[in-house]
Structure 1
Amino acid sequence: MNTLAKIEGALPLPISVDDILAARVRIAGSIVHTPTLISQTFSNMLGCKVFLKFENLQFTAAYKERGALNRLLQLDEAARAKGVIAASAGNHAQGLAYHGKRLGVPVTIVMPTTTPTVKVMQTEGHDATVVQYGEKFDDAYAHARVLEVERGLTFIHPFDEPDIMAGQGTVALEMLEDAPEIDTLVIPIGGGGLFSGMATSARAMKPDIRLIGVQAELYPSMYDLIKGENLPCDGDTLAEGIAVKEPGALTRRFVDRMADDILLVTERRLEEAVSLLLQIEKTVVEGAGAAGLAALLTYREQFEGRTVGLVLTGGNIDTRLLANVLLRDLARSGRLARLRIRLQDRPGSLFQVARLFDEQQVNIIEVYHQRVFTSLPAKGLVAEIECETRDRAHLDRLLHALVEAGYESSLIESA
């Protein structure tokens, strides 16, 4: 253990369960007590009992407003009058803007230029001033600290402040009161504020509870710190809400002392989790909000037989991005496919192929007839057919029928 780790290990934790209990009283009536419900389908699928906490049903569609409100309510009158500033990829921004407007506190938010449009629009919809700067959270954060001094505003950190962590800890209070049989919590980690608060309240209520953190594979910042690794931390992740390069100075203490493990999930698993939550639970969740389910899908053996609580931390996903995720998932599962089929240039050839699709009860969505931009002889042609099937087995039957009929065909892989 290095010297810095020893020093941090000896430092007291900045919040206790009493701070979280006080935060619950403070924010009561202004925050939705979201449901914690068992998912029978996921439980059967994954071999463990799965409870979901629907924080995407908050007014701003994310848990972040818990901590934001707890912090705002403790500002003095002078700070309230001048206003507050924050750096955020979106959900902290919306929570702060919404409750700032309710309380009459001016709010300025610095957002990365890559923030989904829906989050920018929703934040501005709460009368906040939005400044877009830099491509990553860390760029926006540095600029916000400059504006803090220039404008005399109070900076409210998205995760590395005791009042923020205490507010987020109310999530676990509700979960374990509503579903006391939960023995494992799987918690997304970006900066670590949610984990810090939830771990504090959960361990106070159930000292033997298992606490698992989850990070996107592209942004393993807390994973690197705790496990002494040096994995690269960059990329365009679906889970932009937890895309943080530098975890909190305070939150790392909680993760180091309380996390039983930190797991990494791929982009493909995040996409699958977002799609499954919409298909099975009929609920819209952003990439970061689906990280817990992505971990269960990836590391099933670690959770077998346990009673697991997942937090659907937010539902603010751009509709166009959501559409892309769903279509890519359909393609991976074989329910949506594009085939390239070589045909002879003679009357009825496309009709004969279409008849095979009809016989196999495969729905044709789009046909692209290629005659010019091909390496085939002038009398040869290629048809690309996008189609819809029931599942991978159904698609395989179609491909077999095409081969049996003498057609040279291939599946155009995607996603």
Structure 2
Amino acid sequence: MLTLNDVLQAREKMKGIVHQTPLEHSQTFSQFSLNEVYMKLENLQKTGSFKVRGSFNKIMSLSEEERQRGVVAASAGNHAQGVAYSSTMIGIPCTIVMPKGAPLSKVQATKGYGADVILHGDVFDESLEYALELQRQRQATFVHPFDDLAVMAGQGTISLEILEQLPDAEVVLCPVGGGGLLAGLAFTLKQLKPSIQVYGVESSACPGMTAALRHKKPVTITSSDTIADGIAVKKPGNITYEYIEKYVDGVVCVEEAEISRTMLYLLERNKLLVEGSGACSLAALLYHKLPFTGKKVVAVLSGGNVDVTLISRIIERGLVESGRFVTFTTVISDKPGQLNKLLRIIAELEANVMSIHHQRIGAKVLPGQAEIHFSLETKNQDHIHHIHQVLMKEGYDVEFFQ
């Protein structure tokens, strides 16, 4: 069984190795959510996520004989980096099995920390199965990403920091996939402050813990693609489930669009780069998934390892949703001065032209006409509506795309 002393000892082991991450208050998100919002910035942790806490504590608990045989782990990225970093710190062999679709940045970072990386399986669960087979063949120690008491104790050290930084915290939210973070966090918080409420948050695309709580045991679910890849676990842990069922006040789900918007909010408003799984806890607050207001709430932002290509797509999508970028097509007479006339109208409407594309052949284009495709930088949805109204009034048949 996990004990509070296990968590306290874990903290001693990781002194000088693991950062005590900041707890930052956000006036903006407090106003949005009608709560007093504080963010536990594990995205600023070494290796870019909380995972280094649990993996380091587990590896430090190994005997000398176990260390010589090395360790094997499976991960979508963050646990991989935590295990690789921890193994390198104490000089033991390390093999990580990652899904084939794992973000390239996480694969490269894991290799950079000194691990032997094997890409196997389309999802985490397939990688996990293969890693367990490798562990049996090599008689190495398997460092489980969540279903391990030493890993849970390491993650529980976040709770010690939260209560030191904000003793009057009333609610703590954290992402949940396999459950190691939520289980360790909730157990430790409830030991030190039984009145505190603890909620888990997962993506509705992969609601493994929600299904486990509904069935009263971990079950394997069918999941969809999610930008919260760090918590895309089809079956939570058996050990973690027991602690979550006992100590957690509830688990809620957030939608993919809500996660991506929250990532953009964090980047734009707080200059914080947070991955999809890390943004889930704050998304639950901003989109009012929880049954309270007026509380002092800590949202654990569990990681910041985001693939660069994903960041660009999220920014682009966020600009479209907020009405700051729009595309449209219209047909004009293919004569000198007609395009200039249309551009003057757009300029007077204070929209910035990002790109223009001409097409003189198409189903809607008659001889002597040209179809023009515009991309505009705009102010908001009202601005787009105004542009549409003016262009229609000027006689342009306009088709907008969001």
Shorter-chain TM-score range: over 0.9
Q: Which amino acid aligns with 2:286?
A: L
Quote the offset at 1:310 in angstroms: 0.6
Give 1:97 deviation, angstroms: 0.4
Whole-Å Cα distance in 2 between the matches of residues 138 and 147 of structure 1?
Answer: 14
User: How far 1:231 sits from its partner (Å)?
Assistant: 10
- Contact 2:33/2:287, CA 8 A, preserved across alignment: no
Aligned residues: 400
- Is contact 1:345–1:380 with CA below 8 Å preserved after alignment? yes
C-alpha separation in 2, matches of 1:249 and 1:17: 20
TM-score by length of 2: 0.97
- Superposed CA offset, 1:243-302 (max 9, x none): 000100100011111221111111101100110000011010000000011111222662
Aligned counterpart, 2:270:
281
Does the alignment pair 1:325 with 2:334? no
Identify unmatched segments of 5+ residues in structure 1. Answer: 1-13
Aligned-pair Cα RMSD in Å: 1.4
Aligned partner letter, 1:386: S
**One-letter code aligned to 2:148:** E
Is residue 340–residue 409 contact of structure 1 (8 Å, CA) maintained in 2?
yes
2:360 aligned to which of 371, 380, 405:
371
Q: Is the contact between residue 284 and residue 290 of structure 2 (CA under 8 Å) also seen in structure 1?
A: no
Q: CA deviation at 1:228?
A: 3.2
CA distance in 2, matches of 1:269, 1:369: 35
**Would the alpha carbon gap of residues 301 and 186 (structure 1) be closer, same or farther in structure 2, given more than 3 Å must change?**
closer
The whole-number CA distance in structure 1 between the counterparts of 2:370 and 2:215 is 56
Q: Is the 8 A contact 1:184 1:307 kept in 2?
A: yes
After TM superposition, the structure 1 stretch with the greater mean CA deviation from structure 2, 222-231 or 36-45, is 222-231
Amino acid at match of 1:361: E
Deviations, residues 69-93 of structure 1 (Å, cap 9, x unaligned):
1011111111111210000001111
1:102 to 70, 79, 89: 89
Find out whether 1:64 has 2:51 as its counterpart. yes
Quote the residue 1:24 is aligned against. 11
Please say if residues 169 and 201 of structure 1, whose CA atoms lie closer than 8 Å, have aligned partners that are also in contact: yes
Mapped pair 1:200 → 2:187: yes
Alignment-derived partner of residue 181 in structure 1: 168
Are the counterparts in 1 of residues 40 and 301 from structure 2 also a CA contact under 8 Å? yes
Aligned residue identity for 2:143:
I
1:212 maps to: 199
| Per-residue CA distance 1:53-81 (angstroms, 9 max, x = gap) | 11111120100000011011111111111
Which amino acid counterpart does residue 314 of structure 2 have in structure 1?
A: V
In structure 2, how many angstroms separate the alpha carbons of the residues matched to 1:113 and 1:59?
Answer: 24
Whether the aligned pair in 2 keeps the contact of 1:365 and 1:387 (CA below 8 Å) is: yes
SS at match of 1:38: strand
Paired with 1:231 and 1:205, the residues of 2 have a C-alpha distance of 33
Equivalent pair of 1:220/1:231 in contact (CA under 8 Å): no
Match of 1:385, SS? strand
Normalising by the residue count of structure 1, what TM-score does the alignment of the two structures yield? 0.94
| Contact 2:357 2:374 (C-alpha < 8 Å) held by counterparts | yes
SS in 2 for 1:253: helix
Deviation at 1:360, TM superposition (A): 1.1
CA distance in 2, matches of 1:387, 1:119: 34
**Which residue identity does 2:176 align to in structure 1?**
I
2-structure distance, mates of 1:89, 1:104: 23
